[in-house]
């Protein structure tokens, strides 16, 4: 009996103006289909996010699990127990689409492939990928592991603009991955004018998938295809869609980058936190017992007493309201107004009360997640003779290098040698990237390590 012919995978497509996010063409773009190795775009997005936020570094040595080593091809050829730098796993996943490397990345960041899959899905929702659910880091067919042409186009755009420093990985036709040199499956890079990335995918259930980006002059177009019948026919279709995109996209358009998601790390997956013990929590505040034989006493406040009370209240309120002193370029807060004096005839009545036996308090244990993210690095952008010069330089530098310095703490440190202009609260990777970008513009920059 002859075997039944294989059913063709469903076709879907999306074309988008990368600069604005405008959809230029779509077909079945919201149909949930198997993404295959397009999945690795999200694996790599989270890897870049983890590096930027100090969870891990590109030089971290990752121990390969038996689970990762046993993944089917395409693979790098990792062995269980072997250690390899994260940067080589990233290269292998991006260029060769290595399944063993993708799984090792997920396990290194989230502890297990299942936990990493949940983080992938949370990140997808935060990016606006509303119809995507991930179950693994590599994209091999699994029940419930589904996405759409629209969602994958959105992800490709976020990779382009959220992590431009890593986008070149998707343009490489070959790269060294630690144990060997690997080659790309993306033949469109050499066959289509302006193509510079980003990711191919194939499984029997998915067909031949591709998210591609190309730039010509000021125009950049993204095209996604699900369900191609062969790699060559898929590439031809993507080329056709890119041509359509360049015809429909305006030659001049404002660049409206997508907003990156709020960083949450592994916080939504039961990540362990620091334990803080709170002892002696006040549950009752009994009145003091009046002295034996004493009668309630009426005490009238004098003018002098009222002034002392008002001054103390004002001081306490201003101290409680004021944040910790930090050297910044922001203007000082307005003076806190003093509250009005209490009336002169203020009286206080001491009432009788029955003695109350204080209850024995139990210690309460509260667990909170660490939010530091190991952001203990910084950079110095010069030493100046006045605080004004240092603050002015910090502001000017922050405005010119928002990509890496957004959200950092501007701090002026005064010493006998002058006023140092520092940016603090950075991961090692971000600090290094910021310095390299500033030096490229002839701006003085020195890394400040946690031990500096």
User: Among all residues, which ones are annotated catalytic?
Assistant: 37, 40, 97
CA distance 175 to 186: 13
Q: Count of alpha carbons within 13 Å of 18, Cβ hemisphere only? A: 27
Angle made by CA atoms 208, 213, 399, in degrees to the nearest 5: 145
Burial environment of residue 244 by CB neighbours within 10 A (0 to 12, 13 to 18, 19 or more) = middle
Per DSSP bridges, beta strands 207-216 and 219-228 are antiparallel
Eight-state DSSP code of residue 267: G
Count of Cβ atoms closer than 10 Å to residue 195 Cβ: 24
Query: How large is the greatest C-alpha to C-alpha distance in the chain, in angstroms?
Result: 110
CB neighbour burial string for 63-102, b if at least 16 within 10 angstroms, e if fewer: ebbeebbebeebbbebeeebebbbbbbbbbbbbbbbbbbb
């Amino acid at each position: 009996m002859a075997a039944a012919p294989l059913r063709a995978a469903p076709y879907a497509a999306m074309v988008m103006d990368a600069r604005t996010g405008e959809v230029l063409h779509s077909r079945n773009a919201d149909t949930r289909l198997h993404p295959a190795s397009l999945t690795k775009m999200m694996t790599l997005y989270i890897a870049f996010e983890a590096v930027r936020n100090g969870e891990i570094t590109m030089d971290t040595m990752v121990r390969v699990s038996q689970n990762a080593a046993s993944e089917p091809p395409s693979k790098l050829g990792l062995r269980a127990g072997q250690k390899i730098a994260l940067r080589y796993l990233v290269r292998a996943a991006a260029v060769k689409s290595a399944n063993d490397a993708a799984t090792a990345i997920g396990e290194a960041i989230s502890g297990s492939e299942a936990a990493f899959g949940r983080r992938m899905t949370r990140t997808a929702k935060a990016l606006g990928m509303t119809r995507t659910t991930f179950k693994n880091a590599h994209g091999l067919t699994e029940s419930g592991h589904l996405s759409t042409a629209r969602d994958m186009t959105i992800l490709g755009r976020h990779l382009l603009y959220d992590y431009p420093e890593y986008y070149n990985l998707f343009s490489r036709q070959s790269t060294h991955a630690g144990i060997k040199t690997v080659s790309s499956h993306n033949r469109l890079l050499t066959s289509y004018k302006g193509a510079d990335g980003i990711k191919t995918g194939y499984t029997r259930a998915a067909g031949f998938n591709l998210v591609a980006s190309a730039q010509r002059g000021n125009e950049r177009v993204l095209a996604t295809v699900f369900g191609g019948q062969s790699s060559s026919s898929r590439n031809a279709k993507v080329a056709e869609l890119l041509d359509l995109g360049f015809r429909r996209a305006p030659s001049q358009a404002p660049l409206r980058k997508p907003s990156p998601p709020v960083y949450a790390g592994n916080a939504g997956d039961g990540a362990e936190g620091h334990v803080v013990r709170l002892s002696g929590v006040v549950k009752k505040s009994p009145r003091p017992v009046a002295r034996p034989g004493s009668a309630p006493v009426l005490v009238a406040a004098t003018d002098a007493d009222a002034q002392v009370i008002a001054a103390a209240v004002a001081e306490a309120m201003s101290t409680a309201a004021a944040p910790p002193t930090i050297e910044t370029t922001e203007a000082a807060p307005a003076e806190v107004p003093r509250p009005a004096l209490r009336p002169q005839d203020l009286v206080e009545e001491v009432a009788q009360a029955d003695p109350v036996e204080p209850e024995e308090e139990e210690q309460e244990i509260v667990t909170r997640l660490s939010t530091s993210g190991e952001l203990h690095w910084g950079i110095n952008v010069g030493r100046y003779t006045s605080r004004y010069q240092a603050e002015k330089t910090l502001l000017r530098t922050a405005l010119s290098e928002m990509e890496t310095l957004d959200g950092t703490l501007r701090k002026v440190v005064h010493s006998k040698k002058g006023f140092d202009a520092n940016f603090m609260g950075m991961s090692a990777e971000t600090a290094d990237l910021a310095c390299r970008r500033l030096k490229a513009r002839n701006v003085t920059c020195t890394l400040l390590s946690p031990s500096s």
